[in-house]
Structure 1
Amino acid sequence: MSVMRKGEEWEDRNCRLRAIQLRVQDLGLGYQSDEIVLFKYCSGSCPLARTNHDLTLSLLLRKTGLLSTSQEKIVSDPCCRPTQFKDVTFLDINNHWHTVEKLSASECSCIG
């Protein structure tokens, strides 16, 4: 049984690189392969932005009528996204090698 120390809970929810092992065919890219690859992705929360732009945008989004004419979704908070990627190479069921560029995240950061 592991004991969580003060601050560890926040670190676990913080923006960071995570990994899962998946079959290539489960990636949804149309490749037929029995290979298992390590797919890395970014997940977690980001501290609220404190720039003047973000503070003003947040205020405008909360005020009724301002920016509400836009049909697009406006996000004023930063989000956890990959900043670097790695290629993934695997063998398909016909013994052909494939490399999918920039498939797996290798670094994460709060963007926005």
Structure 2
Amino acid sequence: QHYTDLASIRNLSENEVIRTLKPAGLIVWTGLYKDTWKWSNGPMFIYSYWAGGHPSGGLQKCAAANFGSSGLWMGWTCDVKKASVCYHDPVPLWRTVVKVKLVKPSALDLQE
């Protein structure tokens, strides 16, 4: 399937929803990466759920969530093969187009 990006987790509730959707024991990539830790799709990194001792720095520049236990996040090197949590933006079902014609009345004083 076609997805938009890796998942950004904004709060504990979203973390729990993802945890319940994944098979038990799975550690999965999220959209969090280290460039001063930010989400790959752009939102500011505000909420965090790091496991103790993580992120530890160094070469660990990507984050994975350990859904085998509590769903805590861990820093990893980005070249490790893991499953991914992705999302997609649905295509809008309808689009509204509004056409506006602007007409300047002849008596309008633009200096007022």
TM-score, normalization by structure 1: 0.23
- Normalising by structure 2, we get a TM-score of 0.23
Query: By percentage of residues, which structure has more helix?
Result: 1
Higher strand share: 1
Higher gyration radius (CA): 2
